């Protein structure tokens, strides 16, 4: 499929919307009252610090809702206002935050269900309104919805669209897109649908495996088995790695994407010589600013003396888990929770570990004076962070006034 031509024609269709519907002011008031927090604003204004009794909270200098998420949620709210009686669907979670998704359910925005690993679009009918979430949707989904005669409200973050444009450029130059991401993540699924030949690498270790294959060859069957879910159909490591371009899932660890880019650049230089590099390697910066700022703020915060870190965000939020990774690397005890309900008592907290498993840690809240680092992922409303901070004070027998 000519994905570029399809996208161009979709953008000209009168059933396709990627801007709001003129209800911005009304929606902004509603969003402020539902998701903003006076307490968090106070802490921001007080140099990101709040001390009450023996508890000091240190907030990261950049955290929480990013521009792309705010925009997507506002567009979803506007869609409900603009189409008060139409059936409205969303192809996936609008963002990775349970409270925001729940709020949309309450507004009668219905989520497309997954049956046996596939989304069931049979429920969607001509004339229905379908919202595409902040991390986008695959080109096949867009085509299907367009063919059904739906009204499409596309909230895809422009940073994600930028990555799609990048893989389109790779395709035009006939090079394979090396996508640093998680092959099961919706954003990466969408990005790969716009790519020609592609290979998804999860981390530096997998990238090293690939570059080693480029330089030294290896076991082709083993390679294909290893990346069986993470490459384009018919991918051949012996012929499809002669020219590569780098792209990423926008929420990956920035430093790792950079390392992977440099590794492939060095590899192609070594294999084909510096003068031929441009024929074998393409790189465009596709890391989004918000992800970068939140990670940089986290690197600064973990330099401080902290008793532990609370990392707040949806359990399927990639950018949140990468924030926790930074705390883990610094050997700071850290707990990734998605809501205040995970704090079961002063003695126990339920949290997600980096391997994705849930764990309950006992005696997590130290006695006496404590300094708690707090950050939250790009899809976490300040209200959720406020609830967690208030709970800490409550457990330490402090009331926030
Ligand atoms: S994290 Fe970046 S790419 Fe994702 S929605 Fe926010 S601004 Fe957009």
> What was the pLDDT predicted at 399?
43
| Residue length of the chain | 401
Q: What residues have CB less than 8 Å from 120, skipping those under 6 apart?
A: 112, 113, 114
Same domain, 201 and 302: no
Q: What is the CATH number of the domain that holds 145?
A: 3.40.50.11270
Q: Could you report the per-residue pLDDT of 281-336, keeping only the tens digit for each?
A: 998 778 788 988 999 999 999 999 999 999 999 998 889 999 999 999 999 999 99
Ligand 1 in reach of 319 Cβ (< 6 A): yes
Q: Could you report the per-residue pLDDT of 107-137, keeping only the tens digit for each?
A: 999 999 998 888 999 999 999 999 999 999 9
pLDDT band at 278 (very low <50, low <70, confident <90, very high): very high
Q: What is the CATH number of the domain that holds 229?
A: 3.40.1010.20
For the segment 334-340, the average pLDDT, to the nearest whole number, is 97
Mean pLDDT for the chain?
94
Same domain, 165 and 280: yes
For the segment 52-62, the average pLDDT, to the nearest whole number, is 96
Same domain, 50 and 184: no
Same domain, 255 and 201: yes
Q: Say if residues 252 and 322 touch (Cβ distance below 8 Å).
A: yes
pTM of the model: 0.89
In the reported structure, the alpha carbon of residue 159 is separated from the centroid of ligand 1 by a whole-number distance in angstroms of 6
Question: Cα separation of 143 and 149, whole Å?
Answer: 10
Of 204, 195, 223, give the one whose Cα is nearest residue 261: 204
Of 111, 161, 95, give the one whose Cα is nearest residue 316: 95
Domains contained in the chain, number: 3
In the reported structure, the alpha carbon of residue 6 is separated from the centroid of ligand 1 by a whole-number distance in angstroms of 24
Concerning whether 187 is annotated as a catalytic residue, the answer is: yes
Q: Could you report the per-residue pLDDT of 225-275, keeping only the tens digit for each?
A: 999 999 999 999 999 999 999 999 998 988 899 999 999 999 999 999 999
Q: What is the CA radius of gyration of the chain?
A: 23
Ligand 1 in reach of 288 Cβ (< 6 A): yes
Domain end residue (candidates: 103, 132, 157): 157
Q: Could you report the per-residue pLDDT of 137-180, keeping only the tens digit for each?
A: 999 999 999 999 999 999 999 999 999 999 999 999 999 999 99
Ligand 1 in reach of 73 Cβ (< 6 A): no
Full residue range of the structural domain in which residue 23 is found: 3-27+68-157
Same domain, 208 and 328: no
């Amino acid at each position: 499929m000519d994905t570029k031509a399809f996208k161009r024609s979709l953008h000209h269709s009168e059933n396709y919307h990627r801007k709001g519907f003129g209800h911005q002011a009304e929606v902004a008031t509603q969003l402020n009252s539902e998701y903003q927090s006076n307490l968090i604003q106070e802490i921001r204004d007080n140099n990101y610090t709040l001390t009450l009794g023996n508890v000091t909270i240190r907030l990261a200098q950049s955290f929480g809702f990013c521009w792309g998420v705010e925009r997507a949620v506002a567009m979803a709210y506007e869609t409900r206002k603009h189409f008060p009686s139409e059936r409205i669907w969303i192809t996936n979670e609008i963002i990775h935050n349970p409270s925001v998704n729940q709020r949309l359910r309450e507004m009668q925005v219905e989520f497309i269900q997954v049956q046996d690993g596939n989304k069931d679009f049979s429920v969607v009918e001509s004339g229905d309104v379908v919202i595409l979430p902040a991390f986008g949707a695959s080109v096949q989904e867009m085509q299907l919805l367009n063919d059904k005669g739906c009204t499409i409200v596309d909230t895809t973050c422009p940073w994600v669209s930028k990555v799609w444009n990048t893989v389109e450029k790779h395709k035009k130059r006939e090079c394979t897109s090396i996508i640093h991401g998680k092959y099961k993540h919706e954003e990466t699924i969408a990005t790969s649908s716009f790519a020609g030949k592609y290979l998804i690498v999860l981390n530096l270790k997998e990238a090293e495996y690939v570059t080693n294959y480029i330089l030294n060859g290896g076991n082709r069957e083993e390679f294909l088995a290893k990346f069986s879910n993470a490459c384009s159909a018919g991918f051949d490591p012996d012929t499809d790695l002669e020219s590569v371009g780098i792209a990423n899932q926008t929420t990956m660890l920035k430093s790792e994407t950079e390392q992977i880019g440099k590794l492939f650049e060095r590899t192609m230089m070594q294999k084909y010589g510096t003068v031929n590099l441009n024929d074998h390697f393409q790189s465009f910066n596709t890391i989004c600013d918000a992800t970068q700022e939140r990670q940089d703020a986290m690197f600064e915060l973990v330099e401080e003396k902290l008793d532990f870190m609370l990392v707040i965000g949806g359990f399927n939020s990639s950018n949140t888990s990468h924030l926790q990774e930074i705390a883990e690397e610094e050997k700071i005890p850290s707990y990734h929770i998605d809501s205040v309900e995970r704090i079961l008592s002063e003695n126990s907290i339920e949290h997600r570990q980096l391997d994705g498993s849930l764990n309950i840690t006992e005696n997590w809240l130290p006695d006496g004076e404590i300094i708690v680092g707090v950050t939250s992922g790009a899809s976490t409303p300040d209200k959720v962070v406020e609830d967690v901070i208030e709970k800490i004070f409550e457990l330490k027998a402090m009331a926030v006034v």
